[in-house]
Structure 1
Amino acid sequence: MADTNQRIVVDNFRAPVANWALESDAAYILSLSGCLETLTKYDAAQGKVVPFLATEWKQVSPLEWDFTIRDGVKFQDGTELTAESVAASLNSVLKAKVPARAFGPSTVSSVQATDAKSVRVTTTTESPLVPFRLASVNTGILAPAAYQGATVDPFGHCTGPFTPVSEKAKQSLTLDRNPNYWGGEVKLAGAEVRFITNGATRAAQVQTGEADISLSIPASSLSSLQSAPEVSVLKADSPRTATLYMNNGRAPFNNVDFRKALRSALDLQALAASVYEGAAVPAAGPFAPSEPWASAGASSPKQNVEEAKKLLADAGYSADRPLEIIAIVERAEFADVATVIQDNLKGIGVPVSIQAKEYASAEPDVLAGNYDMILSQRNRLIDIADPIGFLTADYTCKGTYNLSHFCNEKYDQLIAEAARTSTTEERYKLYAQAGEILDDQAVNLWLVNEQATDAIRSNVLSYAQDPLSRYVLTAQTAKSGS
């Protein structure tokens, strides 16, 4: 039975890095913590966008969408949610120096309140996916008072079931119940969200009871947790692929034969079986084969050392320096993945060095093109719950998250056409064609498709796993008494 006096501890795998700016990944922390809410929400079970802070919406012209704001919602500072406050919050994100990938001036030209309860979003080109974009956590709504200082202040200015009350920088966020939550009774008295980048530590804390929920459990910790008393391991299919990003913008990676040589050198089957202990499957390109936009018949590449050596010769490669792989420490298994890749590439005469880094410290150089390779993972539906966000940001010539520094005119044309296509089936066909270009050009080395794996204590009640880690603490989340 739920005890409404209980508090809960959540171990999360990343910390906010940009003073809570909503256009940054800090928005994910505020969302999973039960603070930040959006106009719409993607319901994975139904596979569609559903109402949240907006009750309905409609496209009133090719470039204009109107959203009706929910009645009776108050911010945690007591002020009312109005169309004006919604427009002001969205415009803050829209005008950010580095806009959110899901909601920026390249896709949205303006946001304005048309009356007390209606907000109009105007797009730069016809876009059928505006409701998807408004479900992005980066479009979360904060009260006007959140924007009065030099930086965004979410404390007491959200609409969600939990109110942030204090933080330890890069360590934790403490929240209390919002007693006036519009969505009904909040079952917990409060929560602490801890920022723990080390996956083994997250696993250990849920096992000992120091944490009640631990997100993103590494494969190496699964066996001990699955046999641990009072712990449940939750798994869900996830549009997340562990990827070796290659810098297509500089030698030797600017040669497609060289990139294909590295692909032929890898034994993905052995990688999945060893490092991931069978908790992941070899990737078959940029999409998982089960996804509706994947190419029919896509299969995982098989290791072929002789072909790899021939492709290296065709590329004119000579080993004049070791190539560096950055293995981000937030994913504990990447140290071992990097070692396997290093060994595979040594077998074809490509020397590799490995450097462990936190992603936040590596990202500036990676985005600037000052790197060789980086092991990371990208959830294809994290920006918006449709691949258009991932395919645009990550691989178009002007993509804001183009770690690969890839640029292909035909690819860009396909993505532009897909963004205008309202028929889901036709849009998915275009995504498949775009994926085929990425695979044909061996833009990156897609390694394994992973599952989302969380662990919870047995006294956690009404926890619904979200593979995208956007919704963790909700009004319904509860805990039984000790």
Structure 2
Amino acid sequence: MITTPRRRQAASALLALGTLLSAGACSVANSGPEPKASGAAANTVRIVLPEEPPTLEPCDASLTATGRVTRANITEALTERDPSTGQLQPALATEWKQDSPTEWTFTLRKGVKFHDGTTFDAKAAAFTIDRAVGAKVDCNVNGYVFGGIKLTATAVDDATLKVKTAKPDPILPLRLSFVEIVPATTSATGKVREPVGTGPYKIAKWDAGRSLRLERFTGYWGKAPEFASAEYVWRGEGSIRAAMVKSDEADLAVGLAPEDGAGDSAVQFPNNETSYLRIDAAKPPLNDLRVRQAINYAIDKDGLVASVFAGLGKPAGQLVPEGVTGHSTAIQPWPFDMAQAKKLIAEAKAAGVPTDTAITIIGRNGIYPKAAEAMEVVQNSLNEAGLSVKIQMLDVNAWLEYLLRPFPKDAGPTLLQAQHGNQAGDAAFTMGQIYGSKGAQSSFGTPELDDLISAGEQASGEERQTAFAKALDYQNKDVVRDAVMAHMTGILALSKKVTYKPNAATNDEMRLAEMHPAG
């Protein structure tokens, strides 16, 4: 068992990007005694996001907009996964062992304080797990990570935690890397807006609709991060975000497209996200398999990647990408075949399927660059195939109503614009929540697919890989709940005065401790 947290090793992995900006770019905050940045306070890293976090509730940190601010910055988990190696590392737990197929023991780190001065111990860990996985708070992490798994957490003593599961779960320590630890004084029945954590930063001020400021926590148990504070602002237009870095109004901007004009400040990175449409397969005409197949045939994924995504990404056929346990090598992107799409729609219509029923694409502003344009391309293709499709673009809070159960009633048949990143490296974090009949993000499932998912969740080693690949193959052939479009590539803009190396987890957790003033 490795006992050195990844954040203490991060400095050796960082890439100096100081030459990325052109000579005309402005400077940013630095750690010296005298401010050198004209537009920012010294020793503050300034980040511009596409959208304001809908919440900083730790048990919703599996949501991208929340997690990239909260995870490993404000709050921490017992374990953490190194995105560069896939290895599970200690965080608030220093080691763990499996006592039986259904029982684990975690040894917790000593000398850790929460931001409010209280001591982190096994009681706090047990409380947090019960709060996140129980039904009272309705946490996203419960559906996304645990998918109905029943477990109990018990404090043996201050530094020892026992976790028991109703069924064998060989990846429980990995699942717990998504449970952000909070004090036992946190509400057990409702969500909190501004959490208390153990991370290297605490919330200084959240001015709703304007900005969010974090400041360094002086009582942090680990190595102090170099930036004393971080300020987040949000702008919906990618070109504006890029311009803010170039004009020294921000040090880092995320969610950019090639045409946003980041220039020499642009940094590309694999962001571990897959874009797709969730098909509301329980409602006509989408409840007909031929219609769902036609939707997949009608979307020109190569053209979408080449034009709208400007070549950043590659066509995809499944939500579980290469390198993730359970990825099926047998699944390829659906071929673009408009003639076949039209034929299937015509067959369904002849059989009495109401193919003229209006279908609404529920899009999300800012989910990825040119999100609205991508949905317009899809809309045109599906209408050409013989369906009746309209678009409704929403901001993140309204869109979440469609992403998570319980879904809005009387919405009619929908196609949800979505994006999924499996940064945990195991298909369990995709299958149950997205494809299970009762999954938190699932609009449709089958008993057969549920059984295949369950078999994968309880298997280990090569059997786990085989079982999840079988479930994915069944979904792709016999269920067709999605129209998977592309594995994405991210772009961020980075000031020449900041050193930061983005990785596959950057879109979901952007660690401030891995950002340094360039010296």
User: What is the TM-score normalised by the length of structure 2?
Assistant: 0.83
- Aligned-pair identity in percent equals 25
Given the alignment of the two structures, is residue 386 of structure 1 paired with residue 423 of structure 2, yes or no?
no
* Counterpart in the other structure of 2:99: 60
Answer yes or no: is the 8 Å Cα contact 1:10–1:211 preserved in 2.
yes
* Counterpart in the other structure of 1:430: 467
CA separation of 1:474 and 1:445: change in aligned 2, threshold 3 A:
same
- 1:444-459 residue pairs with structure 2 within 5 A? 444-459=482-497
For 1:462 and 1:219, locate their aligned partners in 2 and report how far apart those are by CA, in whole Å.
Answer: 20
For 2:198 and 2:417, locate their aligned partners in 1 and report how far apart those are by CA, in whole Å.
Answer: 33
Answer yes or no: is the 8 Å Cα contact 2:144–2:440 preserved in 1.
no
1:234 equivalent among 243, 251, 268: 268
Answer yes or no: is the 8 Å Cα contact 1:30–1:36 preserved in 2.
no
CA separation of 1:445 and 1:105: change in aligned 2, threshold 3 A:
closer
Given the alignment of the two structures, is residue 415 of structure 1 paired with residue 448 of structure 2, yes or no?
no
* Counterpart in the other structure of 2:128: 89
* Counterpart in the other structure of 1:350: 387
Helix, strand or coil at the partner of 1:97: coil
For 2:97 and 2:154, locate their aligned partners in 1 and report how far apart those are by CA, in whole Å.
Answer: 15
In the TM superposition, what whole-angstrom CA distance separates every residue of 1:66-88 from its partner, at most 9, and x where no partner exists?
11111221222222211122222
Given the alignment of the two structures, is residue 34 of structure 1 paired with residue 73 of structure 2, yes or no?
yes
Q: Which moved more, 1:350-359 or 1:66-75?
A: 350-359
CA separation of 1:289 and 1:257: change in aligned 2, threshold 3 A:
farther
When the two structures are aligned, how many residues end up with a matched partner?
A: 468
For 1:346 and 1:464, locate their aligned partners in 2 and report how far apart those are by CA, in whole Å.
Answer: 39
CA separation of 1:372 and 1:170: change in aligned 2, threshold 3 A:
farther
In the TM superposition, what whole-angstrom CA distance separates every residue of 1:165-195 from its partner, at most 9, and x where no partner exists?
1101244321111122211132111011224
- 1:230-379 residue pairs with structure 2 within 5 A? 231-236=265-270, 238-288=271-321, 291=324, 293-316=326-349, 317=353, 319-331=355-367, 332-365=369-402, 367=405, 368=407, 370-379=411-420
* Counterpart in the other structure of 2:436: 396
For 2:449 and 2:228, locate their aligned partners in 1 and report how far apart those are by CA, in whole Å.
Answer: 50
Answer yes or no: is the 8 Å Cα contact 1:415–1:434 preserved in 2.
yes
Answer yes or no: is the 8 Å Cα contact 1:203–1:214 preserved in 2.
yes
User: What is the TM-score normalised by the length of structure 1?
Assistant: 0.89
Helix, strand or coil at the partner of 2:59: coil
CA separation of 1:232 and 1:19: change in aligned 2, threshold 3 A:
closer
CA separation of 1:190 and 1:241: change in aligned 2, threshold 3 A:
same
User: Displacement, 1:400?
Assistant: 1.4
| Residue type at the aligned position of 1:410 | E
Given the alignment of the two structures, is residue 179 of structure 1 paired with residue 218 of structure 2, yes or no?
yes
CA separation of 1:103 and 1:65: change in aligned 2, threshold 3 A:
farther
In the TM superposition, what whole-angstrom CA distance separates every residue of 1:385-423 from its partner, at most 9, and x where no partner exists?
422021100111111111xx2211221111111111122
For 1:153 and 1:288, locate their aligned partners in 2 and report how far apart those are by CA, in whole Å.
Answer: 33
User: Displacement, 1:163?
Assistant: 1.4
In the TM superposition, what whole-angstrom CA distance separates every residue of 1:206-251 from its partner, at most 9, and x where no partner exists?
2332221122223542xx22x34xx241312x43211122110100
Given the alignment of the two structures, is residue 112 of structure 1 paired with residue 154 of structure 2, yes or no?
yes
For 1:292 and 1:85, locate their aligned partners in 2 and report how far apart those are by CA, in whole Å.
Answer: 31
CA separation of 1:371 and 1:216: change in aligned 2, threshold 3 A:
farther
* Structure 2: stretches of 5+ with no match in the other structure: 1-17, 19-29, 33-41
* Counterpart in the other structure of 2:15: none
CA separation of 1:185 and 1:264: change in aligned 2, threshold 3 A:
closer
| Residue type at the aligned position of 1:314 | E
Helix, strand or coil at the partner of 1:135: helix
Answer yes or no: is the 8 Å Cα contact 2:147–2:432 preserved in 1.
no
* Structure 1: stretches of 5+ with no match in the other structure: none
Q: Which moved more, 1:302-311 or 1:249-258?
A: 302-311
Helix, strand or coil at the partner of 1:250: coil
Helix, strand or coil at the partner of 1:204: helix
User: Displacement, 1:430?
Assistant: 1.5
For 2:209 and 2:75, locate their aligned partners in 1 and report how far apart those are by CA, in whole Å.
Answer: 19
* Counterpart in the other structure of 2:31: 3
Answer yes or no: is the 8 Å Cα contact 1:242–1:375 preserved in 2.
no
Helix, strand or coil at the partner of 2:241: helix
User: Displacement, 1:264?
Assistant: 1.6
RMSD over equivalenced CA pairs, Å: 2.6
* Counterpart in the other structure of 1:43: 82
For 1:427 and 1:112, locate their aligned partners in 2 and report how far apart those are by CA, in whole Å.
Answer: 28
User: Displacement, 1:259?
Assistant: 1.0
Answer yes or no: is the 8 Å Cα contact 1:235–1:451 preserved in 2.
yes
Helix, strand or coil at the partner of 2:513: coil
In the TM superposition, what whole-angstrom CA distance separates every residue of 1:86-139 from its partner, at most 9, and x where no partner exists?
222222223333132255583132111011201111112110011111111xx1
For 2:99 and 2:217, locate their aligned partners in 1 and report how far apart those are by CA, in whole Å.
Answer: 36
CA separation of 1:164 and 1:427: change in aligned 2, threshold 3 A:
same
| Residue type at the aligned position of 1:426 | E
Helix, strand or coil at the partner of 2:441: coil
* Counterpart in the other structure of 2:4: none
| Residue type at the aligned position of 1:288 | P
Q: Which moved more, 1:327-336 or 1:196-205?
A: 196-205
